[in-house]
Amino acid sequence: MPSTTFAPDEPLISTIDAVAYEARTGLSATPKTLSPWLFYDEAGSHLFEQITELPEYYLTRTERSIFAANASEILSEAALGQGPSGKLTLIELGAGTATKTGILLAEAVRQQGSVVYQPVDVSETALAEASENILSNIPGVTVRSQVTDYTREALPLNRLPDTRTLALYIGSSIGNFMPEDARDVLRNLRAQLLPGDTLLLGTDLAPNGGPVANKTVATLLAAYDDAAGVTAAFNLNVLTRLNRDLGADFVPANFRHRACWNPAESRIEMHLESLIAQRVHIPVNSSGRAFTVDFARGESIHTENSYKFTSAAVDALLASAKFRKMKSWEDPQHLFAVTLATA
């Protein structure tokens, strides 16, 4: 599918259709659910950026520190087997504003003189910010951004002879998917890569599950329920989005943010819990007809899963998608892992 452009406050009809479809199917299911991609309208993308800077949200800064400590090794491993005149091209799935990627791009420029960077995201505004950041801070990078839902559409892999592609799937984005879906996303990615291309996967590690003590469940919960209430605002913003995009009449103050650890599934769950018994009207749905949603007091909408992996689980996930693990790096506290695998 070709790249599409739209003003952030004026989504494509097809975006509204997708929002309507999610709302109708998710809110008529038992238990009620909404897909996490709905978080990322302009306000939600901005709130997510704020989350990444919170003291409790260790993920972003920890992954950045792993890149900073190991960029040279990561890039040279990924470039192995490349032709003599070839250069590594970096493509990033779900790039967002690409704040951590700069470290890897600067190292790629150091190693090979220049680099082509292809950020892919569903958010046009995030991509615009990504290219601006990269272009003004790292000379030698050519940015080719593309608005694409990488879970459904083909990746814009522009290949030059002799070059290898390094696909970045970082930030624990894979953690949003149920295990089989995560495997399918990686299989789909691998099907579009050539032998010798590589994947760099960033995963948040499970609490005290592996061979070493790393983080407590309390640390994990705080990362998803911060003291300043930014994550609560991020979660509740999905209701504001449904109001705007579909003309729904959610009163966000009638819901509260809840984060919990599900040890059986090894995931953090985010929910929006209805504080009262209430009925919500949604005038637009995917078949163009209005519908209503009833909430009992205490009933919740499950809005996100964020899976946490042991290093064995990362290996198993990669193997299930037929990637071969090359090497992985962790921070000294074993909070987060970055794994390089070949297609």
Closest CA to 120 of 71, 161, 67, 168: 168
Binding of residue 51 to ligand AVJ (CB under 6 A): yes
Binding of residue 171 to ligand AVJ (CB under 6 A): yes
Name the residue number minimizing CB distance to ligand AVJ. Answer: 306
Binding of residue 328 to ligand AVJ (CB under 6 A): no
Distance, CA of 151 to CA of 130 (rounded, Å): 20
Binding of residue 202 to ligand AVJ (CB under 6 A): no
Distance, CA of 90 to CA of 306 (rounded, Å): 25
Binding of residue 63 to ligand AVJ (CB under 6 A): no
Q: Which member of 175, 199, 295, 321 binds ligand AVJ (CB under 6 A)? A: 175
Asked whether the bond before 31 is cis by omega within 30 degrees of 0, the reply is yes
Q: Which member of 45, 123, 176, 266 binds ligand AVJ (CB under 6 A)? A: 176
Q: How many CB atoms lie within 10 A of CB 330?
A: 20
* Nearest to ligand AVJ of 58, 117 (CB atom): 58
Q: Which member of 173, 237, 285, 328 binds ligand AVJ (CB under 6 A)? A: 173
* Nearest to ligand AVJ of 57, 323 (CB atom): 57
Smallest gap from residue 172 Cβ to ligand AVJ (A): 4
Long-range CB pairs of 28-31, under 8 A, 24+ apart, other chains included: 28/291, 28/293, 31/299, 31/300, 31/302
Binding of residue 59 to ligand AVJ (CB under 6 A): yes
Binding of residue 65 to ligand AVJ (CB under 6 A): no
* Nearest to ligand AVJ of 173, 266 (CB atom): 173
Contact of 36 with 175, CB cutoff 8 Å: no
Q: Which of residues 297-326 bind ligand AVJ (CB under 6 A)?
A: 304, 306
Smallest gap from residue 337 Cβ to ligand AVJ (A): 14
Distance, CA of 78 to CA of 76 (rounded, Å): 5
Name the site residues for ligand AVJ (rule: CB under 6 A): 51, 59, 171-173, 175-176, 224, 231, 304, 306
